[in-house]
Structure 1
Amino acid sequence: MPTHDPIDLWRRPERSGVGPKPEHSRTGIAAAAIDIADRDGLAAVSIRRVAAGVGAGAASLYRYLKSHDELIELIVDTVGGEYDLDSSGAPPAVQLLNLARQGRDIMHRHPWLAPLLLTRPSLGPNGLGYLEHALSALRTVDMPGPTKLQTVAMLTAITSAFVQNELASAANYGTGPGGANVRLDYLFEVVQSGKYPLLAGALTGQHDPERPEEVFTRVITNYLAGAGLPIPAVRPPA
C-alpha cells in the first residue's frame, strides 16, 4: 500500500509564504514532463529527466513534488486545462457530446493520457473545473446527483476506451500501401469467400467506411440516449 497519496499535491500551496522564492513552478515542471511524455511515452517521465528539462537537479525537484506519483497527478490535471469550458446554453446532451469530442482530441494530442483517465482521474483544479462544468450541463436534468456523476464518469470512460482502441489499431495494424486499411481488405476477402453469410448480409449495402469522428459521435450519442439524454433533432429551416 502506498504511504503517500498524490492528491496531497493539491492540499499544499504552490509557494510557501516563508523561505526563498522558488526557482521553478508547477507550470514549468508540468510542461517539461508533458513534452517528454508526448515524445517518448509516459514510461520516460522520471523525476531526474524532468529536472534536467527545467535545468534543476533531481533532488531539488522534490521541493516541489514529493513523489513521481505527484508528478503524474500534475500532468494529468494540466492537460485537463486544454478543455474549452464555454457555457453555450446548448441542450445538456449537446454540451456533453462537445466535452467528449474535446476529450478525444486532447487524448490524441497526448496519447499517454487515455489509459490514465480510466484509473486515476485528476482531482486537481482543472479536473474539478471539468467536473463542475459537466454537472452544470446536467443542472436541469431530472436525475439524482450520484447518477449525474456516474453519467459523466462513463462519458470519460467510453471516450478513453475509444481512443485507446484507435491508437492501438494505428500502432499495431496501420495501413497498407496507398493508405488502404489492411484489416478492411482482409475482411472483404473473408466475406467474399461465402463462409460467413450473416456477416456478409450485415455488411451489404455499406458505403464508404465512416470516418472515426463519425463513429465516435454515434457511440457517444447512443450512450447519452441510453442514459436518458437524447440529442435534440435539428429542425430544417422554414
Structure 2
Amino acid sequence: MSSQDRVNFWLRPERSGTGPKPEHSRAGIAAVAIEIADRGGLTAVSIRRVAAGIGAGAASLYRYLKSHDELIELIVDTVSGEYDLAASDEPPSIQLLNLARQGRAIMHRHPWLAPLLLTRPSMGPNSLAYLERALSALKPVGLPGPAKLQTVAMMTAITSAFVQNEIASADSPEAAPNGENARLLYLSDVVQSGKYPLLVGALTEQPDSETPEEMFTNTITKYLSGAGLPPT
C-alpha cells in the first residue's frame, strides 16, 4: 500500500451521503480485526474473518474498505489511539522517553504491530496526533524540522526493534529454563576456550542486574542524547 493510498483512505469519508445507512463503523471493524490479530497474528486477519466477526458477508465489508491493505492501515492507526498524549512541562527528552515507553507497552499488547511500524507507518489521525505530540515535546530543541522528524522516526524504529527482539527471545526455546541452562553452559565453554577475549570482556562488563525496562530506558536515553537532547 503506497503512501498515496493511505492518504486516500483517510480522505474518503467513512459514511457516504448516498445509499443505505451503514450498519457498521470503522471503529467496530477495527476492534474485531485487532482482536483477531492479537489472538492469531497479522496473517490471521482477512476480510472474510473480519466480516464474520462483525456479522456481515465478506462482500459487504468492501462498502467500508476497498482492500485488505486498507484494513491493516485502519488497525495500525487505531492502536495508535492508545497513547496518552496529554501535554507535559517535563524536559523534551523525558517526554519522548515516556512516549517511547508507551509505544513499547502498546507493541507488547499487539505483537503484530512492531514490524509494521518499520515498513508502513500509518497516515491516520491517531498516528498524526502522536507525531504532533512528539514534535511538541521537541519544540524548545534547537533542531530543524526535518531533524526533529528524523529523531522521532528513529526513536520509533529503535523501540520497534527492541520489542521485536524481546518477543523473539520470549518465543525462542532457548528462553525456556532448560534452554537458558543450555545457553549458560555453551557460554561457559566459550569463556574457557580463550578464543574470544573481546567477547568475553564485553559479556563480563554487562550489568547483571539490568532489567529489560532499564535496558530500554538506557537505549532510548543514549539515542536521544546522541541526537542532541540532554537527559534532563
Same fold (TM over 0.5): yes
User: Structure 2 CA distance, aligned partners of 1:159 and 1:151?
Assistant: 12
Residue in structure 2 matched with residue 53 of structure 1 by the alignment? 53
| Residue pair 1:48, 1:58 contacting (<8 A) in 2 also | yes
User: Structure 1 CA distance, aligned partners of 2:175 and 2:182?
Assistant: 6
Offset of 1:196 from its aligned partner? Answer: 2.5
Offset of 1:172 from its aligned partner? Answer: 2.4
Q: Which runs of 5+ in 2 are unaligned?
A: none
User: Structure 2 CA distance, aligned partners of 1:177 and 1:147?
Assistant: 44
Cα 1:192–1:122 change in 2 (3 A) is: same
TM-score (norm 1): 0.90
SS of the aligned residue for 1:22 comes to coil
User: Structure 2 CA distance, aligned partners of 1:145 and 1:195?
Assistant: 48
User: Structure 2 CA distance, aligned partners of 1:179 and 1:84?
Assistant: 38
Residue deviations 1:139-197 (CA, integer Å, cap 9, x gap): 11111111111111111111111111111222224423379465345323421333333
The code of the aligned residue for 2:36 comes to: I
| Residue pair 1:29, 1:54 contacting (<8 A) in 2 also | yes
User: Structure 1 CA distance, aligned partners of 2:212 and 2:152?
Assistant: 22
Offset of 1:133 from its aligned partner? Answer: 0.3
Pick 1 or 2: higher relative contact order, CA cutoff 8 A, min separation 6: 2
TM-score (norm 2): 0.92
For structure 1, which segment, 50-59 or 6-15, has the greater mean C-alpha deviation from structure 2 after superposition? 6-15
Residue in structure 1 matched with residue 216 of structure 2 by the alignment? 216
Cα 1:63–1:231 change in 2 (3 A) is: same
SS of the aligned residue for 1:164 comes to helix
Offset of 1:14 from its aligned partner? Answer: 1.2
Q: Percent identity?
A: 75
Residue in structure 2 matched with residue 235 of structure 1 by the alignment? none
Aligned residue pairs total 231
Residue deviations 1:22-70 (CA, integer Å, cap 9, x gap): 1001011001100111111101111011000000000000000011100
Residue in structure 1 matched with residue 202 of structure 2 by the alignment? 202
User: Structure 2 CA distance, aligned partners of 1:112 and 1:103?
Assistant: 13
User: Structure 2 CA distance, aligned partners of 1:161 and 1:182?
Assistant: 25
| Residue pair 1:26, 1:64 contacting (<8 A) in 2 also | yes
Report which of the two has the higher share of helix. Answer: 2
User: Structure 1 CA distance, aligned partners of 2:184 and 2:228?
Assistant: 34
Query: Does 1:130 find its partner at 2:113?
Result: no
Residue in structure 2 matched with residue 93 of structure 1 by the alignment? 93
After superposition, where does 1:35-184 map in structure 2 within 5 Å? 35-177=35-177, 180=180, 182-184=182-184
Superposed CA RMSD: 2.0
User: Structure 2 CA distance, aligned partners of 1:166 and 1:181?
Assistant: 19
User: Structure 1 CA distance, aligned partners of 2:182 and 2:83?
Assistant: 34
